[in-house]
Amino acid sequence: MGKVSRRKFLGAVGAATGVAGAAQAERGGKKAARKNTANPGPELRDDVRELVEKTPFVDTHEHLWPEAMRVAALSKPDPKIPAADFSMLFCHYVDSDLQVSGMSGADYRKLTSNDLAVADKWQLVEPYYNKCRNTGYLLCARETARILFGEDDLNKDTYQRISEKLAAGVKPGFYRHILRDVANLEYCQVNALESPVFNNDEPDPELLAQDLWTVSLSTALSTDTLARLTGKSIGTLEDLHGAIDWCFNTYGPRAIATKNQCAYGRPLDFAEVSDADAAPLFARYAADKKSLSDAENKALQDHLMHYCIDKSAEKHLPVKLHTGYFAGHNGMPLEWLRRNASDMCPTLKKHKNANFVLMHIDYPYQDEAIALAKHYSNVWIDMCWAWIINPAASVRFLKEFLMAAPASKVLTFGGDYRPVEPVVGHAAIARRGVTQAITELIEEGWLSENDAPDLVDRIMRGNAHELFPYDSSLKNWRRA
């Protein structure tokens, strides 16, 4: 234990999080009394938990369906939206654990459809659920059921009630309730998969900040999309650069970051390819999209990726890149993943003015991610999704990160979900992990108790506020 009194420890919390002082002082007094127990260990954990519970996260990564889509699907089933029953908690990520445990794709689709009675769905899923209920994904489903629906477990006795409560919760405004009131998030950053580049029509940008999605501008180029958005035909590299500029000029002021997940389709070794070399490649591509060899396609992608990184830096938008583990199942080329961090080095070195956010801790190569954040001033590591991929590895990662790299370089939460409900469970698991990491660092003597309040505030929300242009993007939404 540090030399700081319990009163001072919790007193500092109020200053760090801006919570009013009176309630803090009262709680601090209680804690000061508790300090005189023989075993201070559990008490420390309680105090850290209290601190972490009341500190809001900035959620730096989601793919939430538009709320209006969820509400509309209640009365008119939408094949893109799973049924509003317990299977909503099994639809994203859990689908992988279920199928890796032996469930067929056809049975999984029945599980989330509107065509099967809830009781039959339970019959279908129970054997596979029992095989994988130990994982972070399923823990997240149960934590969601506990916090959002008041059910201690998700099992044969509760699936029916959970289904009813889940459906009853879907109504206008439920995103705000779940994300702000229940999960205690300040705001979320969303990579909207319904919009090819930018969700221009987000009705609540204060809650749901929007990424500018660069995939169709670069690594999965769609000139048709760009021509439609800009109203101009694109025949030359100059036209293409003009269309990309248009996207950054039009959407950039309201965007919170740029986002690219090309790591699902290729290594992250972006070679430098000049305008002079890229122009003839693009001219051939424009005439016939299938005319380029794999190597030529890669060269064109590499050129456009660097172009988008330059534009991101110019607009002060952090560059978010998927690194590490793949969503889905039966397809991950681990040899690419293990090179993600080293492949990025030349690009990190070249674009000194761009800020890179490497997502998902590059799991399972999180040691390399820590090395990059420690070495490169323009690298941040985002723990989004990682807490449910492997909660234990995420605790280890956070402890090791905080013993190695500047604390300003880590972002500690993003749900990375399509459905909004499990963001609640994911945030609870992340809070449990942050609590464990900070408590253990103090207990093991690596971190002073006195430093904990500012550190917790920084890693849960402060770093995100320093890095991302939330206030200015919101001003620009209000002007638009």
Query: Considering beta carbons, is residue 193 or 404 the nearer one to Zn ion?
Result: 193
Q: How far is the CB of 358 from Zn ion (least distance, A)?
A: 13
Q: Is the dihedral of CA 457, 458, 459, 460 positive or negative?
A: positive
Tell me which residue of 185, 27, 28, 55 sits closest to 455, measured CA to CA: 55
Q: CB–CB of 23/53 below 8 Å? A: no
Run of H or E residues at 125: helix 118-132
Closer residue to Zn ion in complex, CB, 299/321: 321
Q: Which residues in this chain contact Zn ion in the complex, by CB under 5 A?
A: 416
Query: ∠114-188-252 over CA atoms, to 5°?
Result: 110
The two tokens of residue 298 are 């890669």
**Residue whose pair of structure tokens reads 């402890």 in the numeric block:** 399
Which of residues 65 and 149 has its CB atom nearest to Zn ion in the complex?
A: 65
Nearest position to Zn ion, beta carbon: 416
Provide the β-strand partners of residue 190. 62, 210
CB of 199 to Zn ion, least distance (A): 15
Nearer to Zn ion by Cβ, of 28 and 425: the residue is 425
- CB 357 → Zn ion: shortest distance, Å? 12
SS3 267: coil
How would you classify residue 154: left for phi > 0, otherwise alpha for psi between -120 and 50, otherwise beta? beta
Cβ-in-10-Å burial (0-12, 13-18, 19+) of 392 comes to exposed
Query: If you count DSSP H runs as helices and E runs as strands, how many of each does the chain have, helices first?
Result: 23, 8
Of 416 and 457, the one with the shorter C-beta distance to Zn ion is 416
CA distances from 163 to 86, 88, 117, 138, 458 (A): 5, 9, 11, 16, 37
Helix (H, G, I), strand (E, B) or coil at 339: coil
Angle between helices 136-149 and 159-169 (to 10 degrees): 70
Nearer to Zn ion, 388 or 455 (CB): 388
In the complex, the smallest distance separating the C-beta of residue 198 from Zn ion, rounded to whole angstroms, is 16
Minimum separation from the CB atom of position 156 to Zn ion (A): 32
Q: Is there a contact between 313 and 353 (Cβ–Cβ < 8 Å)?
A: yes
Angstrom distance (rounded) from CA 101 to CA 90? 14
State in angstroms the smallest separation of the CB of 63 from Zn ion: 5
CA distances (Å), origin 282, targets 93, 286, 298: 37, 6, 12
- Supply the minimum distance, in Å, between the C-beta of residue 191 and Zn ion: 6
Tell me how far, at minimum, the Cβ of 61 lies from Zn ion, in Å: 6
Nearest approach in angstroms of CB 327 to Zn ion is 8
Q: Among residues 44 and 208, whose Cβ is nearest to Zn ion?
A: 208
Residue 329: count of CB within 10 angstroms of its CB: 14
456 and 438 Cβ atoms separated by less than 8 Å: yes
Report the residue number, 344 or 442, with the smaller CB distance to Zn ion. 344
Q: Which residues contact 419 (CB under 8 A, 6 or more apart)?
A: 64, 65, 82, 88, 89, 91, 92
User: In whole angstroms, how close is the CB of 381 to Zn ion at the nearest point?
Assistant: 15
CB-nearer residue toward Zn ion: 47 or 416: 416
Q: How far is the CB of 196 from Zn ion (least distance, A)?
A: 16
The two structure tokens encoding residue 235: 């025949």
According to DSSP, residue 132 is labeled: H
Instruction: Please give the Cα distance from 90 to 1 (Å, whole number).
Output: 42
CB of 380 vs Zn ion, minimal distance in Å: 16
Nearer to Zn ion, 262 or 281 (CB): 262
Please, are residues 137 and 97 in contact by the beta-carbon 8 Å criterion? yes
Considering only CA atoms, which of 38, 57, 91, 54 is closest in space to residue 427? 57
Judged by beta carbon, residue 189 or residue 473, the one nearer Zn ion is: 189
Closer Cβ to Zn ion, 368 or 416, answer by number: 416
